[in-house]
Amino acid sequence: SISVFGSDFMNAGPGSNVTVTTTDTTLSVSWDLHRFSDNNGPITNVDWIMTVNPSTGEWTGTATATGNGVAPLGIVAKYTADGATIFWKEAEVTDGLKGYSVETRANGGEWKKIADVEMGTLKYDVKVTDIAGWMSFRISSVYTDGQVVAGKVFGLPGQYE
């Protein structure tokens, strides 16, 4: 594998690796990227397979890119009369995005999913149930392929539902 920091036709980030394998008639290149963008959002893996026609010497090939979901951004909360409203910005990669999950963790305990929110809905209301303790919140992007990508965790004093 080769460490790649960029090339003429892609924006590969530091730490990207390339694996090249060959036979008499094929050339296979696989990029395992930490951060890559094709103008449609982050990509984490690119496979490029070239095949030569032995009689003409002509190469043909295909490239496939595998997307990786991303977390929602700009997660904030605003207090309301009976609790708080959590707001977030839509994930940068919406291809295959099904929606968002809202989770809570009371006083450092286990995470508990409290809601699934449809794509396009960018807020969720929670009600305060007790002023003691601390509640952590996590908003995650949920993709149709089963991928769940957690956003930045934040907390509020008290207990919410």
pLDDT at position 107, please? 93
Q: Tell me what pLDDT residue 130 has.
A: 96
Query: Concatenated DSSP letters for the chain?
Result: -EEE--BTTBEEPTTEEEEEEE-SSEEEEEEE-SSEE-SSSBEEEEEEEEEE-TTT--EEEEEEEEE-----EEEEEEEETTEEEEEEEPPS--TTEEEEEEEEEETT---EEEEEEETT--EEEEEEEEEEEEEEEEEEEEETTS-EEE---EEEEEEE-
Amino acid 58: pLDDT: 74
Residue numbers in the chain where pLDDT is lower than 50: 1-16, 33-44, 65
Q: Determine the pLDDT at residue 6.
A: 35
pLDDT of residue 140: 93
The reported pLDDT for the residue numbered 71 is 86
The pLDDT of residue 4 is: 31
